[in-house]
Structure formats: C-alpha cells, structure tokens
Chains A and B, each alone.
Chain A
Amino acid sequence: GAVVSQHPSWVICKSGTSVKIECRSLDFQATTMFWYRQFPKQSLMLMATSNEGSKATYEQGVEKDKFLINHASLTLSTLTVTSAHPEDSSFYICSASKTSGGTDTQYFGPGTRLTVL
C-alpha cells in the first residue's frame, strides 16, 4: 500500500510555456501533499505544502505565482510551472501523507524530470 504516482515522468518544453505535473495517491487518501525540487547532486528542497481544499503554503523564496499548486481532492495534487524558463529545469517530486503530518510517513512519487529549452 501507500503508492504515489506522478505524471508525466519526464517532459521537455519550450521556454515561456506552462507545464502541469500531476501527483496521485493511488491506494490511500492524502490529507497533505508536498512538492519538492531536486537539482543535480543537491538535496530535495521543499517547495510547498498543500492540504486538500485549501491554499498551499509556500516555502520562502518559492514564487507562488510561478508554481501554482492545486490540491482539489484527497488523491490528486497538481503543480503547474507557469512561463517556464531553463532555470526551472529540475527533478520535481511530490510526496503524500495520510494525515496532516506528524509521525505519519511521507510517501514519495517517482518524480518528474522537467527540461526547459
């Protein structure tokens, strides 16, 4: 149990376009979903935390107008990178938690590799 999927697994887009990444919890209801970004040889950096039905909480330095997060249901969260630029190229990973957090484990998706040309 506790499987999280992401779609697409990789995407290449032109600079200036928008890209939507989906994160789904397949066999459990995710009260909270997290979005991370990982640059090569660096740590996973938390971008934002979202709870179903409410606005996402963004980490310092993350532009909320550029990285739109929607957590419309208990099994689906989406991250839209708007007006993507080459510096947005990264590995984006979501995770999901059955509760609002605490000692409940975060289950990670397989990640989405975004390349902006």
Chain B
Amino acid sequence: DQQVKQNSPSLSVQEGRISILNCDYTNSMFDYFLWYKKYPAEGPTFLISISSIKDKNEDGRFTVFLNKSAKHLSLHIVPSQPGDSAVYFCAASALGSGTYKYIFGTGTRLKVLA
C-alpha cells in the first residue's frame, strides 16, 4: 500500500522555466511533508518542508504548495537550472500521532535542459 505517490517518474524542463513536481498521499493522519533531492549514489538532501497548518512555504527558488482537501502537494522550482537535475522525493510524516518516521514517495527524476 503506497501511502505517498509520485505518479510522474520523470520530467524534463527547459532551463529558466518552471518545474512542477507533484505528490499525492492517502493517509489523512499525515501532517508534515518534506521534499528531498537525491543525486545518484548519494543520500537525499533536504530541500523544503511544510506543516499541514500551512498551504504554502517558500524558500528561494523552491515553493511547496499543500492542498489538504485533495491530499496533494507540489514543489515548484522557478527558474529551473541544470544543477536542479536530480531525483526528487516527497515524504510525509504523521507527527500528531507521535510517529516521526517518514514515508517516501517513489521519486520523480527531473532533467533540466540547457
């Protein structure tokens, strides 16, 4: 049972344009969400997070949007740069229930074309 889903395995975007990565979840107990970036043969690096009390969080070129009613979050990267090419994982946690573990999606491979 995949509780966190990233339905697009890959995405190609032209440099300078917006990249939009999507993530859906099924567990209504999830109240904290994160995005990680991962390069091959490396561990994931934290990008941005959002609590369920918010619907938007912005950090530089990265913005995460949360739509609780649709159980959907998205990561926007503007403008996209070739160095952003990586696999992006969304993760969810149910902090309110006292469990701090992250459930990861399957990842979306972003390729930013120069």
Contact = CB atoms under 8 A, between A and B. Distances in A.
A49 B102 CA distance: 11
Interface residues of A, number: 29
A49 B43 CA distance: 17
A18 B27 CA distance: 37
Contacts of B43: 4, 6, 93, 95, 108-111
Contacts of A43: 2, 4, 89, 104-107
Contacts of A4: 43
A102 B4 CA distance: 19
Contact of A42 (B36, B41, B101, B106): B106
Nearest to A100: B100
Given A42-B106, A43-B104, A97-B100, A105 B42 contact: no
Nearest to A108: B43
Interface of A: 4, 6, 9, 32, 34, 36, 41-46, 49, 59, 93, 95, 97, 100-103, 105-111, 113
Task: Kindly list the 3 A-B residue pairs having the minimum CB-CB distance in the complex, ordered from nearest.
Answer: A101-B100, A108-B43, A44-B104
Interface of B: 2, 4, 9, 32, 34, 36, 41-46, 49, 51, 89, 93, 95, 100-107
